[in-house]
Amino acid sequence: MTNFIFILADDLGYADLGCYGGRKPVSPNLDRMAARGIRFTQGYSNSPVCSPTRFGLITGRYQYRLRGAAEEPMTGRFRGSTEIGLPPAHPTLPSLLRERGYRTALIGKWHLGYPPHFGPQKSGYEYHIGPLSGGVSYFSHVDRMGKHDLVRDGEPVNYDGHYLTDLLTDEAESYLRARAGDRQPFLLSLHYTAPHWPWEAREQGRSNPETDQDIRHLDGGSIHVYGEMIKALDEGCGRVLKALDDLGLADDTVVIFTSDNGGERFSDTWPLVGGKMDLTEGGIRVPYIVQWGDRIASGSVSAQHCMTMDWTATMLDIAGVPAHPDYPFDGVSMLPVLRDPTHEFPRELFWRMNYRSQRALRDGPWKYLAIEGNEYLFDLSVDERERANLARRQPERLARMRGRCDEWDAVFGAIPADARSELVYTDKDMPSR
């Protein structure tokens, strides 16, 4: 049987990695993974912000079907909520695999609701270590509210001073060694917090009390520190890949790497515009790298359109596990593309955001985008930067794509009136990007 490792970076920009045009040599291991496998150039996240994408990933469905995903993003004010989180009764990637005999672990960030009503082990994971919230200090592991947020199987655990990226990598290596011993198939969800704020590199050595008071870290960071954080993430991925080789697991393990959304304030998204919270390309287009022993032709590149939830459908397709009949997938399996990287098929991709009343549709080379009542039409095959608005030149295409968005939007109903969008920073804190 096939094993799965899904590695999720946090707020990584589309062009932060060398294999995606990065300007600094910060990702030799992920670049090597791309050279050994396949790299997708037209891949997207389910959302331009964290927790909604994670709802899409774990369910294989558009996140708009669940109330908790309407929060942009979920924050600590929902501790104790009985409503805002992933319902334990909902089938998930780990629960479906676990029913078929898989071992399942989440090492890293959860961000899908707080105990006692929600949690990783209520939704299919046997084992979890990591934070429950959206962001924590890399050394003291406190969240935005100053609360210690590092748990193992639901209980607080203290690794004060241990750099979180390295800690998660250590845990992943230990988990792989255990799985090599018992020879049961496994799903390892390795969800790093890097390179999400606060801007703390390994070389810092210890926590900064001032930063811990407000880990949004609006007065800190730099492209240099950010680069070091990506290096630590890349080194962690390299250690995991090496462990697979050393343990003889690489040929039977699908490894998928991506990010939960586009980049934040120090990220490189060139040539794309925008970032986290935006439905412009810089907020939703993300790297996808997949390795699967010799089953994928080395150095393959695909322009197949895909998004986060498709990889849930892909893993379950490889494992031979169908969707629960009451919860069919919105995601589409990419297995045909992994088998033949030249294979492409039509794939409409939709998004909506409460923030700035955004909607978007990608269909072939065309993209329809609406922001606060303004409408745009772009041909991304020649204008990835979304600067040449063809809405007036092609009104029929605009109307047709708007109509498709309306039809799709109606499936999910209105965004709940009490749903909130929360910005980490505004123009008062720094100039607009």
The closest of 219, 242, 266 to 26, measured between CA atoms, is: 266
The letter for the amino acid at 406 is D
Task: Give the residue-averaged pLDDT of 332-336.
Answer: 98
Mean predicted confidence (pLDDT) in 152-161 = 97
Is the CB of residue 221 less than 8 Å from the CB of residue 199? yes
User: What integer pLDDT is reported at residue 83 of this predicted model?
Assistant: 96
Which residues are CB-neighbours of 418 under 8 A, at least 6 positions away? none
Does the structure show a pLDDT above 90 at 432?
no
Segment 308-331, tens digit of pLDDT:
999 999 999 999 999 999 999 999
User: pLDDT (tens digit, 9 = 90+) per residue, 201-248?
Assistant: 999 999 999 999 999 999 999 999 999 999 999 999 999 999 999 999
- CA 402, CA 367: separation in Å to the nearest integer? 10
CA separation for the pair 228, 17 (Å, rounded): 12
* CB-based contact 228:263 (threshold 8 Å): no
**pLDDT, average across residues 257-273:** 97
> Which position has the token pair 């011993």?
181
Residue 363 has pLDDT above 80, yes or no: yes
pLDDT tens, 108-148? 999 999 999 999 999 999 999 999 999 999 999 999 999 99
In this prediction, residue 181 has a pLDDT band, given cuts at 50, 70 and 90, of confident
β-strands 155-156, 306-307: how paired? unpaired
pLDDT score of 32: 98
Residue 183: pLDDT band with limits 50, 70, 90: confident
pLDDT by residue (tens digit) across 79-108?
999 999 999 999 999 999 999 999 999 999
Kindly tell me the burial class for residue 182, based on how many C-beta atoms sit within 10 Å of its own C-beta (0-12, 13-18, 19 or more).
Answer: exposed
* 340-362 pLDDT, tens digit each: 999 999 999 999 999 999 999 99
Q: Cα separation of 378 and 303, whole Å? A: 17
- Average pLDDT over the chain, rounded to whole? 97
* Model pLDDT, residue 182: 87
Q: Would you say 75 and 149 are in contact if contact means Cβ atoms under 8 Å apart?
A: no
What is residue 176's predicted lDDT score, i.e. its pLDDT?
A: 97
pTM above 0.95, yes or no: yes
C-alpha span between 168 and 164 (Å, rounded) = 6
What's the pLDDT at 327? 98
